[in-house]
Structure 1
């Protein structure tokens, strides 16, 4: 058993030992609220309050959208009583990195800004026990923030939502299309003014997508100057960092310099932004991507913990899967090889397979293509971790690239090229592949840390949707508790719940949610730990989890006896300073 597993087991035994404490509480009814009347009374559950403390047996009374009492309430009455015997009662989960809405979302499509109930009710999100999401990530946000806020409040939503300011959007507002360069001091000042405007309109922080356009061309000085605007507002900076492995996703050996930023460079930049600004900073969906970079999580952790010891407020968030969102649309052949100048230029409309075949007939170009394909296979986890999910030849669906190569009697690079040449000629890659680019050892190492919050990096989905999604859209929060805590013992159940309740509330500056505490917003989840399960698979991702029995948002049920109610009790959460005015 690993050291994290032993620690998790010890913490779990402490929690089991709380049975005696619970028994003592049963014999000592709470004098406050014991004979009161509540809107909802959750009786007899194992209360995990969100702080990491062991569970205790207690009742929870809700009134007027707030938690009115926590304790033993044997004489209390209620309009609705939920029997939570044998169940866990916890604060509603907080997803601090959600794509339920952002600047690239299509109105009426996969966005909460819609009058379509299967979207704005957020079914795949609340079904996991999530009662609050933070949106506008990776530097993308609508503008102005006030318009997005007012639209959401006017139409109603299933869970609460908090809005970030997108660094990329601010950059485009000031620089227009001329973003592939460093900003000037005057432009930075104008960006700072826009950040202040967004905060005044209620935003809770600034998000960045430094691996993407246009954030890719920003400098550390620019970002640090904008993040400094957050500190007076107790707001947070959340960054999709410049790299998540040995190199960024835009990097190809044949096209770029040999020293691109690495994960460790990116972590050091995030730390420096936190050091200069004094703000809380979050390295989002932290990972160690690529078979040649596995194990580097330890070095990233050491750098973050050293900075934390020095007083820098640096944190991270993580989704509990060994494969990323971009892994789900893996194309092993570089884009430039499918649109080459001599093969027709960027406006070439010939099928990708035809363009690739022409390029492979040019020896120097063919060598560069094979070099980049080798790099991409490694970056996606290796030939034995790239899986075919859709392909015209159904006999290879479900096989790894290594197995396809063996069947076709080719090496992995040639098999990747043949997948394009033999597959759908109109589709980049010839079919749909998914890479499993992360090591479970790295995922578990991050998951056990007390400064790493759980977050989905997922968006909206419904089982009737015709498109495939990452299982994290439906299963992130149940999986963290059931697989990594209950089954694997990587951390205790209490610590897993803390990673999705009080910790994200702390990061986001939410002062009245994230704990089961009197006076806090009545966001509550009741679940059966024994049956809790992430039921999605990568071949069948549209499946709600099991074990989540009740989810209440501001005291109103959005999941009741395991069924969605399609209620819309959610509200936009503003930063504390703006909400006070």
Structure 2
């Protein structure tokens, strides 16, 4: 009997995502799910893709994404799907777009505008996490999006931007907001403990909210309290939060991010192994680059952020407070990741600015910008640039070394994440010089670290990109090529796959990604984006609270 499917991918080297060796076979899709896998002799389909010489694998699951920052204004998610990603885990680093306090709606819209191109307007029409997810569900998406709820959003909704401990009433409100988000379908709680307002939160506050997430089967996902000189204490804090709150821990974009800390990944990985020996379910994700990226305001000490961006700009206009900031950068502060002081001004590059007047700063480091502007020193260039851009500027900072990157990548607890949003080489999302991880994370690992350097076996790399992150976040119908699973599939050429994006020329798609299928629809076809919006907003289901 002839079997007819919606889509048939035949003659490929099938990597099922579980780490098994590839086998030659076919993958059939019907009604958005994988219908059959194997030697499907005589099968027919409305669309047939001949994958001879190509690898057929589950669609990549991005364990650490900031695509939620743009899905409501750029749902295509082009740079995401063009590198083979079919599902992202967003709401990272304590930053989610819900919950929202109605009194702060306009301020939050201004903050969102600072990270978006001028042509992209985001109107915040929601207050609760459920209302936010409903808004996203009304739009099409290029890839599936699973959301964490951000501690920063919860804290801001409950008590604003203040650098203080919450009152008992505010802490209870934060617990309520966490529970509401988990009931709406959040997959866990995230923190960003080098960013305001997370940087103001003590460990006990986070444990209280993590306990709420734990009752719903959630994950604690943390941009820890520093990845430079504070690295070991910060990893220990993350593990302690999971241990005391009783939930799994995900260490975000793990790295040793200061020259004096290079090599310390041996110790941090040992800490995680020892924690697992005590029964703490801790894992990590990583992107394969020597540089990270974040907002330029992150170069300023924690106290400067008290009260929000407008208060920060007021302090930058005050000569006495500017000198205090300069001194703190030169001398450092306890428990603060001092990017400029630890990495050097010459390793801090501006990625985007808001005004045309400063466009020439994009792609240059602060030492080059100082020389270009004729400023007396780099700190002067920094504060003047931040004032001129009203705080809306981004940076890339070189701070890691290859031995740590490879060591972390090889570790069994490692999975892959981009730490990127979604951009595009043309149109409104093509501004500036974003980190090349937006385009190249997965192809770089498969091309450079697997094929060229042999750091990982292909089968293991694919597992770290698919079933491992799917398992970690409870995406149990994705990440494997098995009948009944959602039809998220990537077809790539193992001999040619490679990243093309660079730090100076980042808006370049990779090579070797031939086809991408999202929920059964072909989203990338013969290397070209089809503009299909087949992705979905994913909600964690079946997680009633435990008492």
TM-score by length of 2: 0.81
Q: Counterpart in 1 of 2:422?
A: 460
Match among 460, 463, 472 for residue 437 of structure 2: 472
**What SS is found at the alignment partner of 1:325?**
strand
Q: CA RMSD in A?
A: 3.7
Match among 558, 567, 578 for residue 523 of structure 2: 558
Deviations 1:384-435 (A, max 9, x none): 7566989999999999889999x99xxxx98746977999996899x99753
Measure how far apart 1:64 and its partner are: 0.7
1:270-281 equivalent positions in 2, closer than 5 A? 270-281=238-249
Q: Counterpart in 1 of 2:38?
A: 71
Match among 121, 145, 159 for residue 161 of structure 1: 145
Measure how far apart 1:175 and its partner are: 2.3
Match among 197, 209, 213 for residue 214 of structure 1: 197
Q: Counterpart in 1 of 2:177?
A: 194
Q: Counterpart in 1 of 2:20?
A: 53
Match among 324, 332, 342 for residue 379 of structure 1: 342
Measure how far apart 1:35 and its partner are: 3.9
Q: Please say if residues 27 and 37 of structure 2, whose CA atoms lie closer than 8 Å, have aligned partners that are also in contact.
A: yes
Deviations 1:327-347 (A, max 9, x none): x8599898999xxxxxxx964
Match among 122, 146, 167 for residue 77 of structure 2: 122
Q: Distance in 2 between matches of 1:135 and 1:236?
A: 13
Match among 482, 493, 501 for residue 517 of structure 1: 482
Deviations 1:487-513 (A, max 9, x none): 121111111111111011111111110
Q: Please say if residues 48 and 55 of structure 1, whose CA atoms lie closer than 8 Å, have aligned partners that are also in contact.
A: yes
Measure how far apart 1:540 and its partner are: 0.9
- Note closer, same or farther for the CA distance 1:399–1:555 as it changes in structure 2 (3 Å cut): closer
**What SS is found at the alignment partner of 2:482?**
coil
Confirm or deny that 1:87 pairs with 2:50: no
Measure how far apart 1:225 and its partner are: 2.2
Measure how far apart 1:460 and its partner are: 1.7
- Note closer, same or farther for the CA distance 1:80–1:329 as it changes in structure 2 (3 Å cut): same
Deviations 1:338-377 (A, max 9, x none): xxxxxxx964887x9xx79x989xxx9987775569x755
Match among 112, 127, 134 for residue 71 of structure 2: 112
Q: Distance in 1 between matches of 2:510 and 2:325?
A: 48
Confirm or deny that 1:205 pairs with 2:188: yes
Q: Please say if residues 37 and 77 of structure 1, whose CA atoms lie closer than 8 Å, have aligned partners that are also in contact.
A: yes
**What SS is found at the alignment partner of 1:504?**
helix
Deviations 1:57-91 (A, max 9, x none): 11111111000111111211111110001101000
**What SS is found at the alignment partner of 2:67?**
coil
Q: Counterpart in 2 of 1:543?
A: 508
- Mark the runs of 5 or more structure 1 residues left unpaired by the alignment: 1-33, 106-110, 247-261, 338-344
Deviations 1:84-123 (A, max 9, x none): 011010000111211111xxx4xxxxx1113xxxx21111
Match among 257, 261, 265 for residue 293 of structure 1: 261
**What SS is found at the alignment partner of 1:559?**
strand
- Note closer, same or farther for the CA distance 1:569–1:437 as it changes in structure 2 (3 Å cut): same
Q: Counterpart in 1 of 2:409?
A: 447
Match among 119, 133, 150 for residue 149 of structure 1: 133
Q: Distance in 1 between matches of 2:218 and 2:456?
A: 29
Match among 209, 233, 236 for residue 226 of structure 1: 209
Measure how far apart 1:469 and its partner are: 0.7
Match among 496, 501, 526 for residue 491 of structure 2: 526
- Note closer, same or farther for the CA distance 1:213–1:490 as it changes in structure 2 (3 Å cut): same
Q: Please say if residues 95 and 149 of structure 2, whose CA atoms lie closer than 8 Å, have aligned partners that are also in contact.
A: yes
Q: Counterpart in 2 of 1:11?
A: none
Q: Counterpart in 2 of 1:132?
A: 87
Q: Please say if residues 86 and 144 of structure 2, whose CA atoms lie closer than 8 Å, have aligned partners that are also in contact.
A: yes
Q: Distance in 2 between matches of 1:372 and 1:176?
A: 27
- Note closer, same or farther for the CA distance 1:304–1:414 as it changes in structure 2 (3 Å cut): farther
Q: Distance in 2 between matches of 1:270 and 1:500?
A: 23
- Note closer, same or farther for the CA distance 1:275–1:561 as it changes in structure 2 (3 Å cut): same
**What SS is found at the alignment partner of 1:245?**
coil
Match among 448, 452, 464 for residue 499 of structure 1: 464
- Note closer, same or farther for the CA distance 1:571–1:365 as it changes in structure 2 (3 Å cut): closer
Q: Distance in 2 between matches of 1:472 and 1:153?
A: 26
**What SS is found at the alignment partner of 1:231?**
helix
Q: Counterpart in 2 of 1:37?
A: 4
Q: Counterpart in 2 of 1:254?
A: none
Match among 251, 267, 277 for residue 283 of structure 1: 251
Q: Distance in 1 between matches of 2:325 and 2:164?
A: 29
TM-score by length of 1: 0.76
Measure how far apart 1:453 and its partner are: 1.4
Deviations 1:217-272 (A, max 9, x none): 222222122212233432211111111111xxxxxxxxxxxxxxx11111111111
Measure how far apart 1:192 and its partner are: 2.0
Q: Distance in 2 between matches of 1:294 and 1:58?
A: 44
Q: Please say if residues 290 and 378 of structure 1, whose CA atoms lie closer than 8 Å, have aligned partners that are also in contact.
A: no
Q: Distance in 1 between matches of 2:140 and 2:363?
A: 41
Confirm or deny that 1:173 pairs with 2:135: no
- Note closer, same or farther for the CA distance 1:53–1:244 as it changes in structure 2 (3 Å cut): same
Q: Please say if residues 122 and 158 of structure 1, whose CA atoms lie closer than 8 Å, have aligned partners that are also in contact.
A: yes
